[in-house]
Structure 1
């Protein structure tokens, strides 16, 4: 045998290059389309067919079923997706992942990419010098795409040739001549390889190369593909270990769905393969039983037909699968919430003022965009994903009337108090232990001010949240309408702030925020005639009117403070301090 350690290392290196190309390509696509993909996921309906299309579309775009399933698990963990919605998205993701196999088959075997791969790297690299972030990401995507096929070419060259190494064929025959036991053995091999490599695409590439080189016949390659479908579920199950029962159920559903598919295909294994062979020949390919060169196309076809058939079969059993998973992973009462700890503030940042200031800024931004954003949105009975979406706020408010039972006092103690205290402590240490420049000192003062405003906002929300829950459930349409106006005002500000901190062109959103801040200031000092009219005409009670007046002032004060925080933490220019009093 002429295949030694050097060749084995080349094989591992080739696989690493392939995986790196896949990772770079997938990451670039996630940056290009990730926000939109998540928005689609977060706002999807419970329609199972739409869920399948969503899963297929997202996986086809970002070229990673693992990334899609991890997103689904994360959304399930946050209760943005129900279990039935999650199952349907995963079904679509399984179909979407077959696109990768076809890319490898067509471009890796039918077309030689090696001649244009390196020029593509150079072409993509030129894009990375662009100022526009999206163009840079396209450049990275092109590089990843090219590196993937360079890795595939190296992988094909690194796999030992059976003709030059007949001993390997002799070794393999021990496992390929055991009838249906061979099928089960290679199914296990496919599962194990995918679990180890953590990429069904890489395992698929190895399978396709092994068939093209004549290592294994068509039926054993198909068995490996079935194993890959089970192995690919491990990523989501690992991610769900530390998640809540919603995420665990989603991950188990993924595993169960793929296992059921593998079981029924195994029961019809040989007839199913003959059908795939017939379709392959009908489309103009040779029989995979007679030609090793025809197997990659047949395997890709098998992969696609299996996932589509499995989805079409099990889509009618989404609810029974969900009920079974609910039994396997019972609902557990949430344990007592742990107090959130700072993410960026630690002793080592105290060494230099620069590292301390940047850590204070990061911690404050993290607190604002997560805990504060969540508490304010949930106090209005609105999901954060809805505020971040492009859906009209009026429509969101119309369907977001269910009480989210937001306990602002508890959330302050579990999500804010500890972090807020540490920010103030570290800021005080910076101002007392270091000889700061005027600009540094001012910047720390702005950070402290922003955090103080966050706490003040929560005081407003603690008074507002109970009334929002109470009056949105009221039979009085006039008071409901008035509280929806208040909800709309804050939701509008939150959405603009979201874009203000996300978009590079901040001027447009900054102007909008300044206009809303001025309007809020004027309203704080002016009594609303509309509320007095509603009381006079007996359309609302005096108690309702009193609550409305107080809550309107709280809302306007909250809007003013939210904009102040956004201006302090994300504004490009130093804000005027007299505007923050």
Structure 2
């Protein structure tokens, strides 16, 4: 119906076509501008949002400044939902950013009313478009991002000029001043018009520019234009609602808080309009705004009623936060589904990396629980009861079920999420995501291999053959050393995600030491097995099974080491540099070999 109505309007009126084309060009410019900001930021915009939210005042100021610079409250709202969904900011900080973003978006009305309606913007738009397209053709990402920004600004200017030209020709065809409604009914009608226009165009800026242009050409009464501005503010909540559909409970709380803020602000502005109009006149006179300059007075009104909304809602921030947490309870998370991954986080490269890190660590902890149980140790995680079925003996079938029904489903979700993340604007650092995917892959391999080892290990540990018991105990102790190291890495990266590179480099070195220890242990185990065969301590069948299991144990340990290395490399600032640092020098290798030789000489021999 919308397309049919537009087509009919284009056929009936060339001026309406010009206005509609102006709106379309303007919206395209907004999309290009947002894309440019997202890709040009290289992460600084996300780091602003994360670091400057440790107080309510900073959060509000951040919302004001960032929205004024980017001219997109929708982008700030989506980024805030993304960060909150990733656990990078608190709900109260996110709400404060939204409050500030609503105030910052009023700067656009000032720019258009004070500048855009007084000059021929097409004279500025065309050079910007030329430079923007040329820069987008360059190979450097930063130049292409700058090109998107210039192109976006050029299309914004061009769209505004189209709307101005269209409205100047619509004066005889469309007169909103002639609508047969008066009083509060007219205010409600025009407020609804502002809501609908913003919902359809997904941009309060576009609605405000339309109404400013109509007001400049005297096609709408001043009071009615104020109502449309109120409706445009309310209509922006739809973007937040749509952005929260794929978010977790935290993101949905922020979207609902956005709705509450805009509804309260809009309702107060409508009810207090008889008071606000004289206040705006008084402030306008003080600022030197002419009495008949209704476009600037509309921009002033837009700022005044949003400031009033912030003044009303900011003292209620803590109460609103508690109400939202009660209204939307936390998600009930099954071990079979991701806890941290959500598509809302894809709006930000930093949030994408953060949730991937958290989910990868979660899968690693679950996988370690299964490996520990397969090695006949009790897992130490608090979620063990829901992850592993209780049993006197953890069977190979249970390991297989845990792998297919739980670990593999999480791994598949992580792979899918990382694939989607590659399409995220501004995601220039894909190496951390690849490392997280590598870490989870190696953990999956460790779980699969542990099932193959468990079949012979459990009987040997609980049997009466002391030599086999000692051999299998040595196998699992080798793995236990690596597990302990990996648990320490996870704990450190969970509690201190931005830990010093030197700290993680120490762990990388220790993982390489573990590889050398495994090589040495494997060689000694082979020699010991051959001795036991010669001396008839074990049968050939027992020896064959033992050698196979020694290979499985080595595979498990190497998989765990590779997972640990990948988790560390994903969190180092310069992965390529870090990869060169993990190679041991000749002196390191000699030192480890000497230590291993000393340890071996002090160990008692295993005899029947």
CA deviations over 1:67-107 (Å, ceiling 9, x no partner): 11122223333343333222111101111111222232233
Between Structure 1 and Structure 2, how many residues are aligned? 443
The SS at the match of 1:159 is helix
CA deviations over 1:494-544 (Å, ceiling 9, x no partner): 7699xxxxxxxxxxx9x99999744531366689xxxxxxxxxxxxxxxxx
Give the gaps of 5 or more residues in structure 2: 1-8, 342-351, 366-379, 389-401, 416-434, 450-484, 519-556, 585-608
CA deviations over 1:352-408 (Å, ceiling 9, x no partner): xxxxxxxxxxxxxxxx96876324556999xxxxxxxxxxxxxxxxxxxxx996779
Q: Call closer, same or farther: CA 1:415–1:199 in 2, change over 3 Å.
A: farther
Structure 2 Cα separation of the partners of residues 337 and 484 of structure 1 = 19
Residues 8-407 of structure 1: pairs in structure 2 closer than 5 A: 8-33=16-41, 35-159=43-167, 161=169, 163-165=171-173, 168-169=174-175, 172-175=177-180, 177-287=181-291, 291=292, 294-327=293-326, 329-331=327-329, 334=332, 336=334, 339=337, 373-375=357-359, 377=361
Tell me if structure 2 keeps the 8 A contact 1:450–1:564: no
The SS at the match of 1:148 is helix
CA deviations over 1:312-366 (Å, ceiling 9, x no partner): 2321111222334345x241551646547xx9xxxxxxxxxxxxxxxxxxxxxxx
What TM-score, normalized to structure 1? Answer: 0.64
CA deviations over 1:152-178 (Å, ceiling 9, x no partner): 10111122546544xx33x64234x51
Structure 2 Cα separation of the partners of residues 333 and 423 of structure 1 = 19
Bigger relative contact order, structure 1 or 2 (CA pairs below 8 A, ≥6 apart): 2
Structure 2 Cα separation of the partners of residues 243 and 421 of structure 1 = 19
Over aligned residue pairs, what C-alpha RMSD do you find? 4.9
Tell me if structure 1 keeps the 8 A contact 2:177–2:221: no
Tell me if structure 2 keeps the 8 A contact 1:211–1:217: yes
Tell me if structure 1 keeps the 8 A contact 2:33–2:152: yes
Structure 1 Cα separation of the partners of residues 306 and 446 of structure 2 = 50
Residue 12 (structure 2) aligned to one of 4, 7, 31:
4
Q: Call closer, same or farther: CA 1:338–1:186 in 2, change over 3 Å.
A: farther
Structure 2 Cα separation of the partners of residues 115 and 178 of structure 1 = 40
Structure 2 Cα separation of the partners of residues 449 and 565 of structure 1 = 10
Cα distance, 1:6 vs. partner?
3.8
Structure 2 Cα separation of the partners of residues 228 and 199 of structure 1 = 8
Structure 1 Cα separation of the partners of residues 123 and 49 of structure 2 = 39
Residues 558-577 of structure 1: pairs in structure 2 closer than 5 A: 558-562=563-567
| Greater C-alpha radius of gyration | 2
Tell me if structure 2 keeps the 8 A contact 1:162–1:213: no
Give the gaps of 5 or more residues in structure 1: 344-367, 382-402, 425-445, 461-481, 498-508, 528-551
Cα distance, 1:203 vs. partner?
0.6
Tell me if structure 2 keeps the 8 A contact 1:25–1:141: yes
Q: Does 1:521 pair with 2:504?
A: no
Tell me if structure 1 keeps the 8 A contact 2:489–2:507: no
